[in-house]
């Protein structure tokens, strides 16, 4: 997919307005070896890509602020021999034109060029502490500039974590980003529908994972947005279960937390449904409790509500339901205040979503939950995880349920982007056509 260079140029210009006099340096992610001479599939750094649209490894973007702003890219040289083995490279000349940079340099010239770009600049901004090797490299450039002090050259005396600007900008999605997220949601919704239809007693969790991965690629996704969770029976009570190797047994629930990445933007969906296509009475009671909690949380998402409002709404519904089902004893308010509900619901109700599954952005401002504004995207994912215990009704043992959808805050409320079957009736009808 050919990048729209104007989008990324405009983002860099916004950053330069915030930066003022100074230099920002952001590197992309390195390639990571899997074993010997093979690598994991490459995925660029999200901050770098958000600024550039450039997806090759060994690349750095440099933004020089002040009266004469410059957009600079360092990238790999063209190399016909390596391209025979590894594929196309833009090279500096083509990258300058395609990605709307003022200057481009070969990646191998970083150590020579970066100190020059830092000379007599008051501020250096980068992702401080993300990578120790990168921190060391940055310090080397600073020391190279400091070595010229007797020539009247000074190094930046102020270092700033670039996240203070980039996280806030990434937090509110523009129309381009939302279009990509809607497509990621659409592909992921189709994958969950296919997985439901493929599920039957006697199969295995990994077969359902294969259905998901196949649907992602058929839909045009680059990759899964994260490692798929396909957890049946007691495995559904393990929040980050990823082994996906258990047989699918009649009478069990299957929890699937899986989604695709499209255009470098993630979806994030969880659905829970019966392996045999029919909920038992206890499964239905527990499931409809989680569904009601999710509905309350989604209803709390609107401009002006604070980040924690959906969580508070979900916790209240869940806690009341746990009391009604005999899982907890006591007053609802007291159980919420003491955290008693966390025995069966131990995680938060959502997180920011975007280029990263757990996306950039602070959840509090000056110690207070931040207000929601249009363009913010988040997940809503209440759950209930009931392990066997003497004080737990046996009908609920090993029931693990999570229902998760992706939501964007709108001017009047919110929009749910993900739409696999969700009610008991919808799920049973889809699984039993």
| DSSP secondary structure string for all residues of 303-348 | TT-BTTHHHHHHHHHHHHHHHHTTS--S-HHHHHHHTGGGGT--S-
Q: For residues 214 and 137, state if they share a domain.
A: no
Nearest to 62 by CA among 14, 128, 110: 110
Rg of the chain over all Cα atoms, to the nearest angstrom: 25
The pLDDT > 90 percentage for the chain reads 99
| Burial class of 107 by CB neighbour count within 10 A (0 to 12, 13 to 18, 19+) | middle
Tokens 């140029």 appear where? 9
Given 56, 261, 356, 404, which residue is catalytic? 404
Which residues lie closer than 8 Å to 111 by C-beta, 6 or more apart? 140, 141
**404: β partners:** 270
Q: For residues 150 and 208, state if they share a domain.
A: no
CB-CB contact of 26 with 48 (8 Å): yes
Given 40, 358, 363, 394, which residue is catalytic? 358
Q: For residues 123 and 70, state if they share a domain.
A: yes
In the predicted structure, residue 2 carries a pLDDT above the cut 80:
no
CB-CB contact of 193 with 427 (8 Å): no
Polymer length of the chain: 433
**What angle (nearest 5°) sits at the alpha carbon of residue 358, between those of residues 355 and 363?**
115
Q: Phi then psi for 47, rounded to 5 degrees?
A: -60, -45
In this prediction, residues 416-428 reach a mean pLDDT of: 98
Determine whether 111 is an active site residue.
no
| Burial class of 242 by CB neighbour count within 10 A (0 to 12, 13 to 18, 19+) | middle
CATH number at residue 424: 3.90.230.10
Residue-by-residue DSSP string for 231-267: EEGGGGGSTT-----SBP-TT-EEEEE--EEETTEE-
Per-residue pLDDT of 202-225, as tens digits, reads: 999 999 999 999 999 999 999 999
Given 8, 241, 265, 385, which residue is catalytic? 385
Per-residue pLDDT of 124-136, as tens digits, reads: 999 999 999 999 9
Per-residue pLDDT of 29-71, as tens digits, reads: 999 999 998 999 999 999 999 999 999 999 999 999 999 999 9
- Please tell me the number of Cα atoms within 13 Å of 58 on its side-chain side: 14
Burial 247-273 (b: 16+ CB within 10 A, else e): ebeeebbbbbbbbbbbbbbbbbbbbbb
Among 141, 170, 199, which residue terminates a domain?
A: 170
CB-CB contact of 282 with 399 (8 Å): yes
Given 37, 81, 337, 411, which residue is catalytic? 37
Tokens 């999200």 appear where? 46
Q: For residues 328 and 382, state if they share a domain.
A: yes
Among 116, 145, 170, which residue terminates a domain?
A: 170
Determine whether 306 is an active site residue.
no
Burial 65-93 (b: 16+ CB within 10 A, else e): beeeeebbbbbbbbeeeeeeeeeebbbbe
Determine whether 204 is an active site residue.
no
In this prediction, residues 414-418 reach a mean pLDDT of: 98
Two tokens, residue 136? 């060391």
Determine whether 37 is an active site residue.
yes
Given 209, 351, 356, 405, which residue is catalytic? 351
Q: For residues 70 and 178, state if they share a domain.
A: no
What are the CA-CA distances from residue 124 to residues 15, 67, 138 (Å)? 13, 16, 10
Q: For residues 287 and 316, state if they share a domain.
A: yes
Q: Which domain holds residue 331?
A: 172-431
pLDDT at 315: 98
Among 140, 170, 200, which residue terminates a domain?
A: 170
Per-residue pLDDT of 78-99, as tens digits, reads: 999 999 999 999 999 999 999 9
Given 36, 81, 240, 391, which residue is catalytic? 240
Two tokens, residue 319? 């806690």
Determine whether 82 is an active site residue.
no
Q: For residues 336 and 371, state if they share a domain.
A: yes
What distance in Å separates the CA atoms of residue 182 and residue 410, rounded to the nearest whole number? Answer: 14
Determine whether 385 is an active site residue.
yes
CATH number at residue 16: 3.40.350.10
pLDDT mean across residues, the chain: 97
Q: For residues 343 and 225, state if they share a domain.
A: yes
Q: For residues 87 and 143, state if they share a domain.
A: yes
Given 12, 402, 405, 406, which residue is catalytic? 402
Q: Phi then psi for 49, rounded to 5 degrees?
A: -65, -35
How many structural domains does the chain have? 2
In this prediction, residues 111-138 reach a mean pLDDT of: 97
Determine whether 368 is an active site residue.
no
Q: For residues 382 and 240, state if they share a domain.
A: yes
In the predicted structure, residue 266 carries a pLDDT above the cut 60:
yes
Q: For residues 185 and 317, state if they share a domain.
A: yes
**What angle (nearest 5°) sits at the alpha carbon of residue 172, between those of residues 166 and 175?**
115
Given 186, 211, 252, 257, which residue is catalytic? 257
Given 45, 177, 209, 268, which residue is catalytic? 268
In this prediction, residues 167-180 reach a mean pLDDT of: 98
Q: For residue 176, what pLDDT band results from cuts at 50, 70 and 90?
A: very high
Q: For residues 205 and 147, state if they share a domain.
A: no
In the predicted structure, residue 3 carries a pLDDT above the cut 90:
no
């Amino acid at each position: 997919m050919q990048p729209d260079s104007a989008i990324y140029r405009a983002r860099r210009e916004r950053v330069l307005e915030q930066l003022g006099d100074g230099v920002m340096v952001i590197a992309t992610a390195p390639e990571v070896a899997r074993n010997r001479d093979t690598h994991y599939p490459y995925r660029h750094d999200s901050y770098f890509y958000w600024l550039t649209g450039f997806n090759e490894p060994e690349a750095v973007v440099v933004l020089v602020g002040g009266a004469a702003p410059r957009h600079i890219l360092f990238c790999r040289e063209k190399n016909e021999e390596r391209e025979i083995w590894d594929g196309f490279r833009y090279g500096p000349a083509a990258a300058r034109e395609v990605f709307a940079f003022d200057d481009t340099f070969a990646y191998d010239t970083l150590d020579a060029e970066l100190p020059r770009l830092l000379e007599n600049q008051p501020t250096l901004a980068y992702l401080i502490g993300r990578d120790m090797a990168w921190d060391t490299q940055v310090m080397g450039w600073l020391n190279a500039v400091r070595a010229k002090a007797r020539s009247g050259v000074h190094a930046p005396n102020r270092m700033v974590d670039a996240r203070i600007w980039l996280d806030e900008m990434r937090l509110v999605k523009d129309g381009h980003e939302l279009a990509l997220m809607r497509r990621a949601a659409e592909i992921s919704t189709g994958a969950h529908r296919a997985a439901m239809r493929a599920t039957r007693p006697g199969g295995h969790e990994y077969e359902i994972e294969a259905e998901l991965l196949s649907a992602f690629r058929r839909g045009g996704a680059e990759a899964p947005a994260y490692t798929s969770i396909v957890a049946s029976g007691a495995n559904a009570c393990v929040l980050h279960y990823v082994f996906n190797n258990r047989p699918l047994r009649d009478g069990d629930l299957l929890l699937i937390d899986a989604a695709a990445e499209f255009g470098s933007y993630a979806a994030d969906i969880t659905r829970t449904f019966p392996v045999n296509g029919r909920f038992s009475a206890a499964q239905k009671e527990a499931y409809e409790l989680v569904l009601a909690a999710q509905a309350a949380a989604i209803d709390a998402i609107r401009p002006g509500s604070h980040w924690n409002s959906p969580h508070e709404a979900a916790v209240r519904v869940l806690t009341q339901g746990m009391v009604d089902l005999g899982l907890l004893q006591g007053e609802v308010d007291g159980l919420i205040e003491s955290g008693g509900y966390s025995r069966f619901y131990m995680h938060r109700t959502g997180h920011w979503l975007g280029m990263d599954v757990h996306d950039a952005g602070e959840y509090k401002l000056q110690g207070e939950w931040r207000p929601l504004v249009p363009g913010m995207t988040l997940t809503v994912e209440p759950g209930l995880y009931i392990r066997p215990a003497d004080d737990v009704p046996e009908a609920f043992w090993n029931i693990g349920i999570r229902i998760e959808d992706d939501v964007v805050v709108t001017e009047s409320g919110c929009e749910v982007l993900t739409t696999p079957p969700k009610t008991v009736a919808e799920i049973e009808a889809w699984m039993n056509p």
